[in-house]
Every structure is written in C-alpha cells, then in structure tokens.
Structure 1
C-alpha cells in the first residue's frame, strides 16, 4: 500500500510519515513549503510539493496515487483567520473529495474534538462520537473559526456520500516541542492561571495520533466512520501541572481558579464579552475548560490500540525526545 500524507512536514503529518515508514509502507509526503531533511535519505518516501488550495492541485495528487492506496489528510490552517481557513482547510478538502471521486483510495481526515457543541452538554457528561456537534455555519459566525472549519470538513465528507473513509477526532495534540497545551488556562505575565476542574483533559499524544491515522489508512470501513482519538490515560489539570513541572520545571508560578468561579465571572462580564479574550466568553470557556469525561472506546474497537505508556511516562518520553533532537 502507498499512503499519501498531506501536511507531511507539520507536527501531525511528520509523525504520520515516520509511523507509516516504521510499518514498511511507501509514503507520498505532500508538503507546501519545505521538505523535511530526513526524507532525502529514505527511498520509501516520495516528496511532493503542492499547495492544496490552488486550482488543480487536488487532481494532480489523486492522479499520482495508484488504486488501493490511502490518503491521510492532515493539512489544515491552524490559526483563526477565516479567509485562510476557508481556502486551506475547507476548500482544499472539498477539492480532494471531488478529485477522489469513486476511486479506490481510502480517505482519513484528521479532524478535531473542537467540533462538539459543548453548549448542548452538561458538566461531567461523557463525550462520545454521537454527542451533539456544532452547526455548519459561516466561519465568521462560528464559536471559533478553527472549530467551524473542522466541522465544515466533516460535513463535506458526509455530504458527498463517501465510501471507505475515516474521520479521526483527536484531542489537544501534544508531544516533543509541544509539551504544553491550550486547555490548561492562560498566562498572566510570569504567572500561569489554571482553570481547575476534576474533568479529564482530552489529550492526544502525537505518537498515538500517528498510530491511529496509519491504522485507519490500513483498515477498510463502510461509508464514513468517526472515531475519537484520545490517550487512554487522561489526566486532570492538576496532575498535568505536576508532571510538567517535574519534567520541565515550569510553570514555576501557578494559581488555580475553580471552573465554577471562572464561569460565574464570565457570565458577569457577558455584556462586554466581545471585547475580551476567549476564556472570558462563555461558549469558548465551556469548550475548553468545562469538566467532562471522554470516550475512546470506538478507537479501541476499530484499531485495537492502547497507550504506549502511562501519561507520566509519555511526558518523560516527550522530554527525552526533545533532548535527542
């Protein structure tokens, strides 16, 4: 099998290339700007420079792929610019789906748990693949443009009545060079403010993400199958903070504010919320900080994967991986 990987020089895409090669698969590594130097010495990796948002690029990619191959679509704009998200995330995905047509090319879309509509769930609920999703809307009107773009990607795949495709919804992806995450709180100068709760942090180590993506690329499915991709060992924010301090020594200064107290503050500031940062706006606060439980049972059932190590073990591996780079 040949596996094409878009965004192959990005954080997730590069990990997918490494995992596919470790499993002996030929890789077509699709990148927009700079190929990774390790590809030059690997005869199993064929670099392909493409701007997937450009006219004809998706068709060129699909024409390069043989039948019975797979495409892991990890390329996406990571910021909040609606124009860039529309071009590089939504339109690029639309063109890939159209260019694939009815060919025997398994499609694996790297989506996000940000597509869940946390305004329609209650604290301590368990989020499953069947939980409520954000409405499909213009990116400028979405809870945040990135989440809106990911939801639009999924809608395109379902709307096309696609066969043999996977939608993978990872949590906050972490790993070497990205040991921290956006679901902990915020910095106030040298002080970090943790918005504490007893909910699980929906984290996904990049190595676990890559294993799931390559497993999906190798696994046939009927129609479009959706899977949450999450670490089995999901810490609370307090446990994450302890482990990160032990491995990295920071943040040295931290104050923890209970989620309920911060939610009350956000509601008090609702009349001026439009002028404040995201965590002062209730929809964003609920999406990032509300105490929830998460299910990855379908991931286990579909691919039979388990964590490589405990959470603390993965944190130590992450630190050691950075030291070896």
Structure 2
C-alpha cells in the first residue's frame, strides 16, 4: 500500500475521526478537513495536517484546491445527519458540489460515504434480503421530496458522482446504523415513551455497522481500484436481532430498564389505520418511514467481504462490551 495522502472531509465527526485514526494506524499521511472544533487527539501527530474549512463557504473550492496534495485519495464523509431540509441542502448537497468541483480537477480516487437510507424498502417484504441490487428510492428534485430529507440528500449526493464519467474507479459505501464507543444506541430499535422504551419487532437483523469497520473499509477503498464505480453496503458480520441488541445494551450500560416489545405487523397495522392523520404524527407512525427503519429484513454483506476480505474483530456482544470499557 503506497503512502498517498488520505484526504478526509467531515474529519471531526464520528466516522471522520475513525477514518483519520485508521489511516494513521496504517502510517498514512492525512489531510483532515474539519469545520469547527479541532479534535484534541490530533495534537502532536505530524502525520495529520488539519484544515479548518467549511465546504459551503464562498472561498472553499479555492482553499481546498490549494491544499489538495498531488497524490491523494478522498474520503467524503461530511454530511448533515438530521432531517432539516435546509441543513441537508447546505451541509450535504452544497458541500458535495464544492468537493466535486475540486475533485474533477484532480486525479484523486473518491470514496463517498452514503447510507443505507437510499434503498426503497417500500418495494421489499418482511424477511427479504436487502443488498446492492435492491431498488433505490426514486431520485427526487429536492431532498424533502423523498421519504425524508436525509434519504433524499444521500440519493442526490450519489447521483452527483454516478453521473460523472470520472467516477469510474470511485467507491460508494452505504453503511447501516453506525455505532461504536460513544454512540452505542441507534434509531432502528423503536422509540422512547418517557422512561419506557418501546421496541418494534424482535426478529430480523439490525443493519449495524461498527464505526471502526466502516473506517477500515473506507481507507481500504481509498487504495483499491475498481472497474466500477464500486457500490458496497457496509454491515457488521455479526448482526443481532433487536431482542439480542437490547439484552446486550442493558447488560453493558444498564439501560433501557423498562421495555415493552410490540410486534412489527401490529405497529404497521396501526400506522395504516392512522394514515389520514400521519402528517401530524412522529415518523414511526408513517408507513414508509416505519418500513425503512423497522421492517424485519436480512442484510448480507457478501459483496463487502468479497471486495474487502476480513472478519469482525469480535462478536457483537464483545464489541458492545468494548464500547462500555472505552466509556469507563
């Protein structure tokens, strides 16, 4: 593996920091783009060149072009993680357009961090396998026209690169629910009702992707040519059910203490009953969002392991215990 520089956008975020750590573990030089706070653990590492840069700023393209090394690969992890339409339009799509402008003038391979959210689960049935051949949500004109603004922004973000002939040897990684030390909970389990947690469904795999696994795959992809583009879902090898996740989290962290499980089909029936007023209710009362987050499916990572051989460093319970130890 050559010593090309790994350029990481969103380097101060949950996944971005893991990508920086993985690249430095491999002794690769890093140009780390961050927007606000410089991570303290970068101090004293001469292999990390931090660059405070807002990709939506008017001078962002010129500043990035001037800083970009000649021999580099780019991991684009910067994005808005919420559902606010204005924020995703700015921090995901506008930022990506700036990066794309600079990337097109370079010879860098690009690794785009997309999301499982781009798949159209309305076209699937409980128990089916979701893989790279599964249908995608229709391409919207704006993020808010999709199932939710986050999914719409990721679909549009992918389209920006897939329409470009220069992306032939690039990668699109679609992680599931990212988790790891400092972020062990996720939004695909159910919802809180005061101190009671309501799990919707106990069967079906959770599409978890440990942050260190995703960082490892991203840094590998930065060095890996593909006759592509290469599109890969990123899921852990050991994927727990919701019931198994709940047991492990309670054992390691002590919560949620109060829990009730509602069958998925029962909640789906309720969502359909409330469809006439669903626009005024939280997302899990809307069928499309419910299916995307909680429908029991299977999530094979066959293509990922074919392109990037390896295995989880521990069982799911072992990784959860490690996350608890890191917190302590």
TM-score over 0.5 for the pair: yes
Shift of 1:197: 3.6
Q: Equivalents in 2 of 1:119, 1:197: separation in Å?
A: 20
TM value normalised by structure 2:
0.96
Shift of 1:221: 1.6
Q: Is the 8 A contact 1:174 1:181 kept in 2?
A: yes
RMSD: 1.1
SS in 2 for 1:293: coil
Aligned position for 1:143:
147
Aligned position for 1:233:
238
Q: Equivalents in 2 of 1:39, 1:101: separation in Å?
A: 29
Q: Is the 8 A contact 1:176 1:319 kept in 2?
A: yes
Aligned position for 2:110:
107
Q: Equivalents in 1 of 2:327, 2:217: separation in Å?
A: 22
Shift of 1:83: 1.1
Q: Check if 1:22 corresponds to 2:25.
A: yes
Structure 1 residues 234-289: Cα deviation after superposition (integer angstroms, max 9, x where no partner): 00000000000110111000000000000000001011000000000000000000
Q: Is the 8 A contact 1:73 1:107 kept in 2?
A: yes
Distance 1:199 1:58, change over 3 A: farther
Q: Check if 1:86 corresponds to 2:60.
A: no
Structure 2: give runs of 5+ residues left out of the alignment. none
Structure 1 residues 174-228: Cα deviation after superposition (integer angstroms, max 9, x where no partner): 1111111100000000000000142100001111111111111121123421000
Aligned position for 1:157:
161
Q: Equivalents in 1 of 2:294, 2:65: separation in Å?
A: 40
Structure 1: give runs of 5+ residues left out of the alignment. none
Question: Of 204, 222, 228, which residue of structure 1 is paired with 2:209?
Answer: 204
Aligned position for 2:179:
174
Q: Is the 8 A contact 2:202 2:261 kept in 1?
A: no
SS in 2 for 1:28: strand
Question: Of 253, 256, 270, which residue of structure 1 is paired with 2:261?
Answer: 256
Q: Equivalents in 1 of 2:320, 2:153: separation in Å?
A: 30
Q: Check if 1:77 corresponds to 2:84.
A: no
Moved over 6 A (4+): none
Aligned position for 1:265:
270
Q: Is the 8 A contact 2:11 2:77 kept in 1?
A: yes
TM value normalised by structure 1:
0.97
Shift of 1:91: 1.7
Q: Equivalents in 2 of 1:58, 1:292: separation in Å?
A: 41
Q: Is the 8 A contact 1:106 1:217 kept in 2?
A: yes
